Amino acid sequence: MRVDLDDEGAAPASLPRFQRAVLQSRRLSRLTYLTGAMGVIGLLVSLFVDLFSPNSLWTAVLTNSATSLLVLAAALQSAHVVSQWRVGVIAPPSAAASDDEALLHCDEQGWYDRVLGRISGAGTSMVGQVGLPVFWLAGWALLSLISIGLIWNLALSGSSVSLVGNVVGGLLLLMGFALLVLERQFSNESQASWPEAEQLAQITRVVIGTLLVTAFCLFFSSVDRVWPARLAVLIGLLPGLVAVELLIRAFLSVFSPRNERLEPRLIASSFVAGLLRWPPRPLLALQNELHNRFGIDLRQIWAFTYMRRAFLPVLAVIVGLGWLLSGVHEIPMQGRGIYERFGKPVEVLEPGLHAGLPWPFGTVLAVENGVVHELATSVSEGAGAEQALDAAEGPPPAIANRLWDATHINDKSQVIASGSGDKQSFQIVNMDVRFVYRIGLTDEAALAATYNSADIPSLIRSTASRVLVHDFASRTLDELLGEQRNDLAADVGDAVQRDLKKFDSGVEILATVVESIHPPAGAANAYHAVQAAQISAQALIARERGAAADQANVAQLHASMAHDQAAATSREVMATAQGADLRFSAEQQGYAKAGQAFLLEQYFSQLTQGLTHAKLLVLDHRLGGTSAPTIDLRSFTLPVDPAASTQSADQPSAE
Confidence of residue 587 (pLDDT cuts 50, 70, 90): confident
Q: Is the pLDDT of residue 411 over 50?
A: yes
Confidence of residue 577 (pLDDT cuts 50, 70, 90): very high
Least confident of 212-216, 451-455, 485-489, 614-618: 614-618
- Give percent of the chain above pLDDT 90: 15
Q: Is the pLDDT of residue 371 over 70?
A: yes
Residues facing residue 363 across a β-bridge: 340
The C-alpha atoms of residue 181 and residue 101 are separated, in whole angstroms, by: 47
The predicted-structure confidence for 246-273, as pLDDT tens digits, reads as follows: 888 888 877 776 667 777 788 888 878 8
Confidence of residue 578 (pLDDT cuts 50, 70, 90): very high
Least confident of 104-118, 171-185, 191-205, 580-594: 104-118
User: Which CATH class, in words, describes the domain spanning 374-380+404-519?
Assistant: alpha beta
- Within 326-455, residue ranges assigned H as helices are 443-451
Q: Is the pLDDT of residue 477 over 70?
A: no
Q: Is the pLDDT of residue 289 over 90?
A: no
Higher pLDDT, 266 or 205: 205
- What is the structure's pLDDT at 96? 41
What count of other Cβ atoms lies within 10 Å of the Cβ of residue 44?
A: 12
Higher pLDDT, 623 or 42: 42
The C-alpha atoms of residue 244 and residue 270 are separated, in whole angstroms, by: 10
Confidence of residue 541 (pLDDT cuts 50, 70, 90): very high
Q: How are beta strands 412-420 and 373-376 bridged, if at all? A: unpaired
Confidence of residue 531 (pLDDT cuts 50, 70, 90): low
Least confident of 61-70, 525-534, 586-595, 642-651: 642-651
Most confident of 151-155, 266-270, 437-441, 624-628: 437-441
Three-state DSSP state, 482? coil
Say which residues have a Cβ less than 8 Å from residue 488's Cβ, sequence separation at least 6. Answer: 471, 475, 480, 514
Question: What is each CA distance from 613 to 93, 424, 616, in whole angstroms?
Answer: 167, 94, 9
Asked if 398 and 380 count as a contact pair (C-beta separation under 8 A), the reply is no
- What is the structure's pLDDT at 388? 46
The predicted-structure confidence for 58-91, as pLDDT tens digits, reads as follows: 888 899 999 999 999 998 988 888 888 888 777 7
Residue range 189-205: mean pLDDT, rounded: 86
- Give percent of the chain above pLDDT 70: 68
∠ Cα 141 147 152 (to 5°): 125
The predicted-structure confidence for 241-252, as pLDDT tens digits, reads as follows: 999 988 888 888
Q: How are beta strands 362-368 and 328-331 bridged, if at all? A: unpaired
Q: Is the pLDDT of residue 366 over 70?
A: yes
Residue range 279-299: mean pLDDT, rounded: 66
Least confident of 137-146, 317-326, 554-563, 635-644: 635-644
Q: Measure CA 317 to chain center.
A: 49
Confidence of residue 639 (pLDDT cuts 50, 70, 90): low
Question: With a threshold of 0.75, does the pTM exceed it?
Answer: no
Q: Is the pLDDT of residue 634 over 80?
A: no
- What is the structure's pLDDT at 565? 92
Please tell me what DSSP assigns to residue 91: S
Confidence of residue 129 (pLDDT cuts 50, 70, 90): low
Burial of residue 46, with CB atoms counted within 10 A of its CB: 0-12 exposed, 13-18 middle, 19 or more buried:
buried
Q: How is the chain split into domains, by residue range?
A: 12-93+127-270, 301-369, 374-380+404-519, 525-588, 596-650
Residue range 496-513: mean pLDDT, rounded: 89
Long-range interactions of 335-341: CB distance < 8 A, separation 24+: 335/366, 335/367, 335/368, 335/369, 335/371, 336/366, 336/367, 336/368, 336/369, 336/446, 337/364, 337/365, 337/366, 337/367, 338/364, 338/365, 338/367, 338/446, 338/447, 338/450, 339/363, 339/364, 340/364, 340/365
Three-state DSSP state, 435? strand
Residue range 478-497: mean pLDDT, rounded: 74
- What is the structure's pLDDT at 576? 92
Higher pLDDT, 435 or 485: 435
Please tell me what DSSP assigns to residue 440: -
Least confident of 35-49, 140-154, 576-590, 619-633: 619-633
- What's the number of CA atoms in the CB half-sphere (13 Å) around residue 624? 3
What is the secondary structure of 495-559 as a DSSP string?
HHHHHHHHTT--EEEEEEEEEEEE--GGGHHHHHHHHHHHHHHHHHHHHHHHHHHHHHHHHHHHH
Mean pLDDT score of the chain, rounded to an integer? Answer: 77
Residue range 451-472: mean pLDDT, rounded: 84
Higher pLDDT, 528 or 650: 528
Confidence of residue 108 (pLDDT cuts 50, 70, 90): very low
Most confident of 196-205, 246-255, 289-298, 373-382: 196-205
- What is the structure's pLDDT at 99? 46
- What is the structure's pLDDT at 171? 92
- What is the structure's pLDDT at 647? 52
Say which residues have a Cβ less than 8 Å from residue 80's Cβ, sequence separation at least 6. Answer: 25, 28, 29, 32
Q: Is the pLDDT of residue 355 over 50?
A: yes
Residue range 406-431: mean pLDDT, rounded: 58
Cα Rg, the chain, nearest whole Å: 59
The predicted-structure confidence for 420-441, as pLDDT tens digits, reads as follows: 555 555 566 667 788 899 998 8
- What is the structure's pLDDT at 567? 92
Q: Is the pLDDT of residue 574 over 90?
A: yes
